[in-house]
Amino acid sequence: MTEKSHTSIQYEKELHDIKERLLYEGALIEEAIENAMQSLMQRDSDMARSVIDADDRINELDEKIEEKCIRVLALRQPTAKDLRFIATAIKVNGHLERIGDLAVNIARRALDLNEVPPVKPYIDLPRMADITREMVRESLDALVKEDCGLADTVRKKDEEVDNLNEQIFRELLTFMLEDTKTIHRALLITQISKNLERISDHAESIAKMVIYMVTGKNVRHQGSTRNCEQ
Amino acid sequence: MKWRYFKQNLFFSLSRLCALILAVAIGGFLIYILVNGISAINWGFLTQPPQDSMTKGGIMPAILGTFYLTVGALITALPLGIASAIYLSEYAKEGPVIRIIRIGVNCLAGVPSIVFGLFGLGLFVVFLQFGSCILSGSLTLGFLILPTIIGASEEALKAVPQTFREASLGLGVSKWQTILRIVLPNALPGILTGSILGIGRAAGETAPIMFTAAAFFTAKLPTSIFDEVMALPYHVYVLATAGTHIEETRQIQYGTVLVLVGLVLSIDLIAIVIRSYIRKRKRW
Amino acid sequence: MKNNNSIIETKNINFYYGDFRALIDVTMGFERNKVTALIGPSGCGKSTLLRLLNRMNDLIGRTRVEGEVIFEGKNIYDPGVDPVDIRRRIGMVFQKPNPFPKSIFDNITYGPRLTGIKDKSTLEALVEQSLKQASLWDEAKDILGQSAMMLSGGQQQRLCIARALAMKPEILLMDEPTSALDPISTAKIEELIEELKKDYTIIIVTHNMQQAARISDYTGFFYLGKLIEYNPAEKLFTNPEVSQTEDYITGRFG
């Protein structure tokens, strides 16, 4: 969509800069999720450790973005669409930082699991990770492109992730009931699954913020029936 | 760089020189009159009527006559002039009619005074049958100074900031009240300036009063506006050209001129004092 | 926006300067005891509309009004209506403070005196009340006899407000009242407006969007003579209905 740009080029740059940084943060987080899963699948503890270290960069970026948003609020007195964008950016930034922390948790669990023999081949977990990575990417795309429809798609995927989480839990439950020696490992795996499910919740929240930003309507606490057409 | 400063200084110096020349000219003129006329001035000169075919005595009737004529001219011109100025400045809508009126007023300012004299003669003295008297003279002089009064008053009215009028009207005050209570009082200094100029001309003009009011000699002082009067400028004119003792009355001529200048300057001074008082009170 | 509590409203106003149509079909109502702001770029007609409301445009030659301005059930442009009377009920404060070159006291009593109030104690009480309403009493009460021109810019503007209030209008029109003032004077006057709306209806034209956002209850956005959007201020500044409005207030115009 062709957008009229601000009379002040500097202002335009500042907003563009915040969007760029959010996208970059998103990319770093996608990488973290991917690497955390890989460290589990390949039993690669070094990779797990690198994920944990990389979180510092994400936190730094998070601080920087917040700083820039506050600066725009103070100096530009944004109104209407710009105001909603900044409000959204601040919240999205928070969600991304939390996702980063969850990826670190996954890496830590991977470290633990790599010390012990596997319970069963991982099928559903990587599937969950793929979907959540998609959700993160698409929700940020929706933010930058102001695409309501894309935001709706993200919200639908959350359901799929929830189902997978349930499935994994039920499966592991049977394992634990059959053989109590697997409980420790099974619990670690459920924690990873839970983390992924929470990542997808955060991505869904980002999508809801995008709908608010574009339409000015708050859909955060409505049921999933409300979307950007309404 | 230096060339710019040189040009600037040159210009300033030339301007100062012009001002100096002007001051010297006026000063010289005044001093000349003072020197030549002062010897004729004494109390008797100012209070006695002329005697012995004007070779002795005083010029009191002429002083009085000039005074009456000047006041009469002001009475004629001020109300008419200020009212016209108010109309032109506050009420008139721009258009061909107004432009013609303005051109007329400006042209009137340039009409030679002798023409006014003949006009006064034809209209007031003959047609309206007032005869040669203070009334005819005052009216004629009034019309003479009318353009000056109108011009200065209109300028003064226009100089009152529009914001004052807006503020007054915005309070729900009618246009006429605004003019009366805000615009006119603030235009007063400018109007007074116009009056000063008018006084100077009215007191000093000879041609307009030659046929309409002035007589060379009146046996007694005027008692009504239908009487003829003596007048200072006319007095000088006659003594210096048509009188019977031109050389002998030279002294008296200079004295008369000195008195005339003194009279005009005094009235001017009074007007200036009034004006500066008003200006101080109404600073904006 | 329809408003049942309107104290004054315009109906299909078209306004012409000569052949130029400065206002195009403007219909809006102004709510009693609220602050309504009119915003828009230069030349959009907002000042013209303001001056229409108390017939100040009558003073400019070659102007024509079509449509109605209804105040107290009557069209103020009806032939039988006296504009002087209208201007006593609908007062105006201008962009540049314009006190008369008189004393503070005389400035305020100028209008009331001409409506017939002569009694000294009545006038004194009126001066005190007006200055208090304009937040100027404390600064001015000891110097009432001094020339108004001695006051600072912000004080002069408050004096002009007091002067307008002395006529006890119902509506106060303000044409960019703080654009010539420093930020502190501006803040004082904005504070004042917040107080005044309890007793008066205020309609203000402003170039300063943040000011409109701060003080107005309703805001109307004008562009090229048309009323583009008219909504409660909160709505207009967070989620405007018309994209033109959004472009203007976010600085995307041009």
Distance CA A11, CA A89 (A): 16
Domain ranges across chain C: 6-99+172-249
Looking at domain C6-99+172-249, which of 3.90.226.10, 2.115.10.20, 3.30.870.10, 3.40.50.300 is its CATH number? 3.40.50.300
C194: its two tokens:
């917040």
Both tokens assigned to A159: 């359901």
Residues from chain B contacting residue C59 (CB–CB below 8 Å) = 166, 169
pLDDT tens string for chain B (284 positions)?
688 889 999 999 999 999 999 999 999 998 998 888 888 777 777 777 777 666 677 788 888 888 889 989 999 999 999 999 999 988 888 788 888 988 988 898 889 989 999 999 999 888 988 888 889 999 999 999 999 999 999 999 999 999 999 999 999 999 999 999 999 999 998 898 888 888 888 888 888 988 888 877 777 788 887 888 888 888 888 888 876 777 777 888 888 888 888 888 888 888 888 888 888 877 66
Which residue in chain A is spatially nearest to C249 when comparing CA positions? Answer: A79
Contact call for residues A199 and A102 (beta carbons, < 8 A): yes
Confidence label for A32 from pLDDT (cuts 50, 70 and 90): very high
Residue in this structure with the two tokens 């009366």, named with its chain if needed = B180
Contact between C35 and C56 under an 8 Å Cβ cutoff? The reply is: no
Does C141 contact A at CB distance below 8 Å? no
Model pLDDT, residue B54: 66
pLDDT in tens, C193-208: 999 999 999 999 999 9
Question: Is A227 part of a structural domain of the chain?
Answer: no
| A151-155, B270-274, C86-90: the lowest-pLDDT one | B270-274
**How confident is the model over B145-198, as pLDDT tens digits?**
999 999 999 999 999 999 999 999 999 999 999 999 999 999 998 898 888 888
- Contact between A21 and A68 under an 8 Å Cβ cutoff? The reply is yes
What is the rounded distance in angstroms from the CA atom of residue A114 to the CA atom of residue A136?
A: 27
For chain C, the distance separating the N- and C-terminal CA atoms, rounded to the nearest angstrom, is 27
Q: Name C63's bridge partners.
A: C17
Contact A205, A95 (CB under 8 A): yes
Show which subunits contact B, needing at least 3 CB pairs below 8 angstroms. Answer: C
Interchain proximity A81–C254, CB inside 8 Å = no
- 3-state SS class at C65: strand
* Inter-residue contact C40 to C248 (CB < 8 Å): yes
Instruction: Determine whether the interchain pair C246/A77 forms a contact, defined as Cβ–Cβ distance below 8 Å.
Output: no
* Rounded Cα gap, residues A37 and C146, in angstroms: 83
Identify the bridge partners of residue C203 per DSSP, sorted by sequence position.
C36, C173
Residue in chain A nearest C238 by alpha carbon: A80
For residue range C27-53, list pLDDT tens digits in order.
999 999 999 999 999 889 999 999 999
CA-CA distance, A117 to A182, in Å (whole number)? 10
Chains C and B touch (3+ CB pairs under 8 A): yes
Q: Does A8 touch chain C (CB under 8 A)?
A: yes
Mean pLDDT, chain C, as a whole number? 92
Q: Assess whether pLDDT exceeds 60 at residue C3.
A: no
Touching check for C253 and chain A: CB below 8 Å? Answer: yes
Residue A160 has pLDDT above 80, yes or no: yes
Helix (H) / strand (E) element for C202: namely: strand C201-205
Residue A226 lies in a domain: no
Distance from C-alpha of A202 to C-alpha of A95, rounded to nearest angstrom: 6
Show the tokens assigned to C166: 């002395």
Give me the residue from C87, C93, C167 closest to B169, CB to CB: C87
Q: Report yes or no: C39 and C219 within 8 Å, Cβ to Cβ.
A: yes
Q: CA of C244 to nearest chain B CA: how many angstroms apart?
A: 34
**What average pLDDT does range C46-65 have in this prediction?**
90
Whole-number Å distance between alpha carbons of B266 and B78: 19
Determine the distance in angstroms separating the CA of B167 from the nearest CA of chain C, rounded to an integer. 7
Would you call B172 and C94 a contact, using CB atoms and an 8 Å cutoff?
Answer: no
Asked if residue A191 belongs to a domain, the reply is: yes
Domain that holds residue A120: 10-215
User: C47 CB contacts (<8 Å, ≥6 apart)?
Assistant: C175, C176, C205
Q: Residue A132, CB half-sphere, CA atoms under 13 Å: how many?
A: 36
Summarised one tens digit per residue, pLDDT across range A64-98 is 999 999 999 988 888 888 999 999 999 999 999 99
B214: DSSP letter: B
Dihedral over alpha carbons C62, C68, C73, C78 (to 10 degrees): 40
In a domain, A56, yes or no: yes
The answer to whether the CB of C178 falls within 8 A of the CB of C211 is yes
Calculate how close chain A gets to C202, using CA atoms only, in Å.
24
Strands B56-57 and C90-93: unpaired
- Tell me the average pLDDT across A100-118: 93
Nearest CA in chain B to C89: B172
Mean pLDDT within C114-130: 94
Q: What is the pLDDT of residue A93?
A: 95
CA distance A83 to chain C (A): 7
- Mind giving me the DSSP string for C98-128? ---SSBHHHHHHHHHHHTT---HHHHHHHHH
CATH of the domain at A98: 1.20.58.220
For A9-34, the DSSP string reads HHHHHHHHHHHHHHHHHHHHHHHHHH
Give the three-state DSSP class for C203: strand
User: Which pair of tokens denotes residue A195?
Assistant: 């983390």
Let me know if chains A and B touch, i.e. at least 3 Cβ pairs under 8 angstroms.
no
Residues of chain B with C-beta less than 8 angstroms from the C-beta of C81: none
Question: Which of C238, C253, C254 is facing A80, going by the closest CB pair?
Answer: C238
The residue range of the domain holding B172 is: 57-281
Chain B residues with beta carbon closer than 8 angstroms to that of C86: 172
Q: Could you identify the residue written with the tokens 């209850």?
A: C217
The SS3 of residue A190 is: helix
Instruction: Provide, rounded to the nearest whole percent, the portion of chain C with pLDDT above 70.
Output: 98
Contact C91, B170 (CB under 8 A): yes
CB-based contacts of B95, cutoff 8 Å, min separation 6 = none
Pairing of strands C90-93, C74-75: unpaired
Please check the confidence at residue C2 and state whether its pLDDT lies above 60. Answer: no
Residue C121 burial (10 A CB sphere; 0-12, 13-18, 19+)? exposed
Would you state the structure tokens that stand for residue B109, as one six-digit string?
Answer: 């300012």
B128 in a structural domain = yes
pTM of the model: 0.81
Domain total in chain A: 1
H or E stretch covering C26:
strand C20-31
Sheet of C74-75, strands arranged across? C20-31, C6-17, C63-71, C74-75
**SS3 of residue B135 by DSSP:** helix
Residue B67 counted as domain residue? yes
Residues counted in chain C: 254
B163: nearest CB among C91, C98, C149: C98
SS3 C172: strand
Nearest to C205 by CA among C52, C4, C1: C52
- Chain A residues whose beta carbon lies within 8 Å of the beta carbon of residue C209: 79
Average the pLDDT over C108-132 and give the result: 94
**Helices B134-159, B113-120: inter-axial angle, 10-degree rounding:** 130
Contacts of C210 in chain A (CB under 8 A): 77
Q: What is the mean pLDDT of residues A24-46?
A: 94
Q: Would you call C156 helix, strand, or coil by DSSP?
A: helix
Does residue A1 surpass a pLDDT of 50?
A: no
Q: Who among B94, B169, B171 is closest to C164 (CB)?
A: B171
Range in A196-210, B26-40, C141-155, C187-201 with the lowest mean pLDDT: B26-40
pLDDT score at B48: 76
**C-alpha R_g of chain A:** 19
Domain count, chain B: 1
Question: In Å, how far is C87's CA from the nearest CA of chain A?
Answer: 36
